[in-house]
Amino acid sequence: MQKPEAERVSGGCACGAVRYETTRQWEFSFKCHCRKCQRATGTGHAPAFAVPMSETNIEGTVRYHAHIADNGAKTKTGFCPECGSPLLSSTERFPERIYLLAGTLDDPSLFEPQFEVFESEAQPWDRTQTAADNPA
């Protein structure tokens, strides 16, 4: 019996020079508040989802910036060399996996974060607020 094919999703950069297609069966999804992600996205956090490299097809050229994460692992951030849109990241710790940024999805409403990481590094203006934090 043949295994049914997983649903696919697609996305890309702002100018369309880089496009990807990957499985909808993400390994996990999260919001990262580390300083690397803040700088790479220009925001308070990076909403991302993990997918196997083997299930992802990228068309176009991705340019990478390599750096060392707070935990000492070598990581790379990938972006479009034409428009500068950040697209993905990877780490030497898990070379079979990439992390795609949720805002690059053609339908970003599909993204639902399962957890947050590096919350202690979250900027005060980017913390999740509850109704108790903001009474009407």
| pTM listed for this prediction | 0.87
Task: Tell me the pLDDT tens digit for each residue of 52-69.
Answer: 999 999 999 999 999 887
Find tokens 């108790």 and name the residue: 132
- The helix (H) or strand (E) run that includes residue 91 is strand 86-91
Q: Is 6 exposed, middle or buried (0-12, 13-18, 19+ CB in 10 A)?
A: exposed
Domains of the chain: residue spans and CATH? 8-119 (2.170.150.70)
Question: pLDDT by residue (tens digit) across 65-119?
Answer: 998 877 788 999 999 999 999 999 999 999 999 999 999 999 999 999 999 998 9
